[in-house]
Structure formats: structure tokens, C-alpha cells
Amino acid sequence: MSEHESEDHSATDGRSPYEVSPELQSSTPGNRGTTVRYSIIGATTLTAVILYLDRICIAEIAKLDEFKSDLNLSDQQTGWILSAFFFSYALGQVPAGWLSDRFGARKMLPLYICIWSLCTMLTGLATGFAVLIAARLLFGIAQAGCYPTASSLIRRWTPLPTRGTASSIVSFGGRFGGAAAPLLTAWLLSDYLGWRWVLAIYGMVGFFVAAYFWKIFRETPQEHPDCDETECALIAAGDTDTEASGPPPFPPLLPLMRSRAMWLMCALQFGVNIGWVFLVTWLPTYLKDVKNVDPKIGGLMSTIVLFAGIVGMLCGGPLTDFSVRRFGLRWGRSLPLATCYGIAIAAYLSCLYLESAWAFIAAASVVAFATDMSVPGIWAYMQDVGGKNTAAVFGWGNMWGNLGAATTPQLVPIVLKYWDTNGDWHEAFLLFSAGYVVALAAALGINASRKVE
């Protein structure tokens, strides 16, 4: 075991550290005690909806001939626009996470929302490739702080035995926004508005969400005027983390780089995003060019795929919480992840034999379901090992995942150009499957009981 990792086997009064005492259970809602934590999770979930709505809508807009002609874009430039976000999003993860650890979620998350909402509006005002790339890069930096911040506040506002479920609810918000984005955007573009006005409206909504989050949130239960002692005690029960006073160091890079488990988590997230990001970038193009699907039907199909992910997300939280209670922290986090990625591999390989567009959508929906079912386990793992630097630790893993996501939009055109001789995209699906193979192998090696100190 690395000197920078420590394994936690502590328990209290003979109970597992992942259980809440009967006394505190009896004081949960329905008996006595406030429920402010639910409002906090709700506000964070709403933030995640806007996060993904603004992020995913660009895939529907980028396939428009009007978009390309207005900005005089080539297909290669369009690929760069789709991937530019992921590069800056990846590199901004650790610094943005540390800023939230250092200055607090109440200050930083509304600021992040306002910046990315402004960038969404600027994307609609772009007149050429250079301005568009600049807006997308800044957009990625701003969005980089959202999920690390959310993971950190979940750790502070949710009892340990239900962190997976809380993570699934917030992640559900992101997937709901992502699933709604293709259908809503295609509908607005087809019948009501131009692409510039759609981006302007999405951007304005974000400012209202930022104000709502700032109003309702406080850093800890103890600081919230509406949170009573019973709820504070319930949230703290079973949490064995102890935090020293003062701000966290910037950022804990050496412990992260020396942690074998964290490198495995980085490889896991990199591999997952190699396979998953196709569903939110090139899928509309694939349906249009290969399956000859009408754009409106293509928007519906993309939404179906992403809604399958929503169902998986909601299942994943209770699954990881149950697995921890059943198998312990080590395998309770690891085994569900490996199982999800095995299912995704099988679904992608089946695409090599499917001719029907709807059969393909069924297989892609299985990929989305299995992938998103694993996400709450990933979030909970970061909260398990992160301690005081949870946002920065989350950002480190998410950074590598999004480097995988940034790579895929550029790899797909290369694979199609040099290896796909008949235009069926089979070679691309083999690439996506290989990403999940890496993720499965890494999932079997992670150990959530070893904290990054």
C-alpha cells in the first residue's frame, strides 16, 4: 500500500461504518428533523440539467447546413468545434475543483454557471471559426467546475450510506438535460427559431439557475439557517473522514500521481469516454449519413438513447449503495462498474451486425444505460477517497475521462478515412468497444477503501 493511501476499516459500536444508527434512522423525515438536504440536492440537480442542455445542444446545431455555411466551416473544423470543449473542460477540472474546495461552492458554482451561460450566448453570436473556438474553449473551462463542486457538496450534505443515490440523482439531472437537448433543440430549430436564437435562450436560462442556487445553498448543514441539529447529526453519521482546519493545499497532485488506485480510475474514465462520447457528438451525423434518418426522427432517436442513460443513472445509485452494504467498500464499488462495462462492450459489438436504424438505437440505448448506471459508483468512489480535497480529486479523475472524450471526435474522422473502406462505421465501433475493455480492466483494480491523503 502506498504511503499516500490509507485503508479505513473503522466502525462504531460494532456497526459497519456505512450504517446509520437506529436512533438517527428514527429521526429521519416522517418523524422529526428538517429536510434541507433534499432542497440542496434538488438545486444541484437543476444545475446539472442546464449543464448538459447547454453542452449537448451543439451536436444538433453542428449538423445543420445553415450552421456550417453561416460560419464557413469544413467537416474537420466542425470536429474541432465538437472536441474543443472537451480539451479545456478536461484541463480545467483540477484547478476549478480546487477553487471550489478553497473558496466554497456557494461562490464558485454560480460564477461557473454565469460564465458558461455567457459563452453559450457568445457561441450564437460567433461570425467565424476563431471566435467559435474561443467561446467553446472558455465554455469548457467554466463547465469544468460544476461536477467536481457537486461531488464535494454531496459529500458534505448527504449521509455516507446514501451518497451513491444522491450522486445518481444529480447525475440524472445532467442526463435529463442531455437527453432533452436533441429533441428540444431539433424542435426549436425546425419550427420556431434559428440556431443563434436557440443558443441565446439557453444561455439566459442559466443566469436564473445561478441566482437560485446561490440563494438556497450554504457550504455545510451547520451554516444553513433552516437545517436543525437532527438533520446535521444524520448527515454526519457514519462518516469517518476527519478534516483539518484551514484551506486545502493546491491541488494534491503528488498524492494523486502516486496513487495506483487513482491512476486506475483515470484509465477507467478515459476508456469509458472513448466509447460513450460518440452518443453525444457523432450519433446525429451517423444516423443522417449512414442510416439515412430524417433529422426530426434522428433527434427523437438521440433522445431515446440518452433517456435510456437516465434510467441507468437512477438504477446506478441504489445499485452501488446496495453493493457496498453487501460486498463491502472495495468490491461494492468495483464489481458493479466492471459489470456495466462488460454489458456496454457486448452492445457495441452487436452494432456490427445490425442493419435496422431502430435496432441500432436499441443497442446504443443499452450502451447508454450501462454506462450511466456506472456513473454514481464513480462519483461515490471519488467521495470515498477524496476527503477535504474531494472536488480536486474528482476533477483529477474527470480530467482524464474528458481527455478521452476530447480524443474521440478527432479519432472518428481519422478511423473513417483510413480504415473504413465501405462507410459502415464498423471500425469506429471497434474503437469504442476497446475503450470499454480498458475501463473494465481498470474497474477490477480500484479500491475505494484506500483514501488519497
As beta bridge partners, residue 15 has 12
41-67 pLDDT, tens per residue?
999 999 999 998 998 888 778 777 788
Q: How confident is the model at residue 348 (pLDDT cuts 50, 70, 90)?
A: very high
Closest CA to 301 of 250, 364, 254: 364
Give the domain ranges of the chain. Answer: 26-237+250-452
Dihedral pair phi/psi, residue 217, rounded to 5°: -95, 145
pLDDT for 51: 93
> Which one is predicted more confidently, 242 or 359?
359
pLDDT higher at 218 or 56: 218
The string of DSSP letters for 356-399 reads: SHHHHHHHHHHHHHHHHHHHHHHHHHHHHHHGGGHHHHHHHHHH
pLDDT in tens, 356-396: 999 999 999 999 999 999 998 998 888 888 776 777 788 88
Of the CATH numbers 1.20.1250.20, 1.10.1060.10, 3.40.718.10, 3.40.640.10, which one belongs to the domain with range 26-237+250-452? 1.20.1250.20
Beta carbons within 10 angstroms of residue 368's beta carbon: 29
Report the pLDDT averaged over residues 422-447. 92
CB 408 within 8 A of CB 274: yes
pTM: 0.71
Contacting residues for 53 by C-beta, under 8 A, at least 6 apart? 177, 178, 180, 181, 184, 202
